[in-house]
Structure 1
Amino acid sequence: MASKNIIADLNKGEKLTGTNYDIWHKKMTFLLNEQELYEHLTTIMTRPSRRDLEVFETWSKKNRCACFTLLSCMHDDLIGSYEHCATAKEMWDQLMFDFGGTSVTRLRSLVLKFEMYKKDPKNSMTEHLRIMSAMIRDLKNAENALSDEQQVQTVIRSLPDSWVSMRQILTHNENIKNFADVSRHVELEAESEEATRATALFSQRGKRHGNWSKRKNKGK
């Protein structure tokens, strides 16, 4: 019960975003020590002989607990990049490699990720903008605050190729001054596209139903 309370308390606070790795690392070390799971971040157990299977199963259960704890204390945008790790040690080491470098290295990585980011087709436009907002926040926390113009232009570049005409319109729209402005325009356009698709789908279904009714009446 105590361990569950600790997890709950940590989850209420700031989760790993990438720029807060150092303090997050200290918190996780404390938490996993309290849970008696820290050893799983430093060792890997190979499958033992049949007679030691019970030992292995116990280790596997604790490893899953350690993985769950690490993932539950990450920002949602990071979980997908680490949930595939087979062991807690693999996840721990990868996180250290990705975020535990020098400040200059982390900053360069954050800037490159933001500038090259493109909308994932499986994400809604709202989710896409939320991810970009989180990147802007991470850069600000790393003492690299972007200008409004940089934020706007990067968001426009991140839009799908199918939005080529809209990208041009947004680029030359003098009313778009900051991230909030471009987000509002982009979300309105996305909603309009979704409404158009829904109307077209409804119309298509109506035509199919009408054709089916005609064929049914002819058969009488």
Structure 2
Amino acid sequence: MFVSNDKIPTNLLILDSKNYDKWHKQMKVLFGYQDVLDMITDGITPLGKEATAAQQAKFKEDKKKDYKALFLIHSCVDSDNFEKVGDCDSAKTAWGILEKAYAGVDKAKVVRLQTHKRQFELLQMEDKEMINDYVTRVTRLGSQMKSCGEAVSEQNFVSKVLRSLTPRFDNIVVALEESKDLKTMTKDELQSSLEAHEQRMDERGNDKAKAKVAFASPFQREEQEIEREIAF
């Protein structure tokens, strides 16, 4: 598929009843890439009766761009949506019809965003959860909020993680708050510091376990000897 010698990918997202939000974003990028975005936002300025030659030339060029934008819309909708816009004489009209048809998508996004925000505030690290797993959960929820129109800043992400860790991270949280500027800390820096602390705690736990076994072994052997003597 070619338009003005610009190759258009053949695997573009096709609008159906479930993917309008993603399709809307992709199409705006495509319009910009094909230099026809103004046809969607502004449309074509009507040509006056006493238009100059320059105005007539511009109108002709704009009309070509409008057909190009309309062709892109036609090429990226399923049969049901084509029925809505197939008879439109301008890209702006077709675009407006689809926006109106899927206006409920924006309302649904608002509801989903409120749900995700509540979940984000209530999210807490579980007792035996690893830092990487917890950060992944927070990141995933942040991505869901972003898809609904509200991004989580690095500062909010860092603050959220620090205040929702389990008590075993209290020492590192205090240390970070005292030694680091949390306003400039990135989530990658935070995760790296927490994982290093987590690794040190695990290593100490293993050392203590080994030491306990080493000290306990003589006593265990003595108890076994006593048990054998009693048995005889």
- Report the TM-score, using the length of structure 2 for normalisation: 0.47
Q: Which has the higher contact order (CA 8 A, sep 6+)?
A: 1
- Report the TM-score, using the length of structure 1 for normalisation: 0.49
Structure (1 or 2) with the larger CA radius of gyration: 2
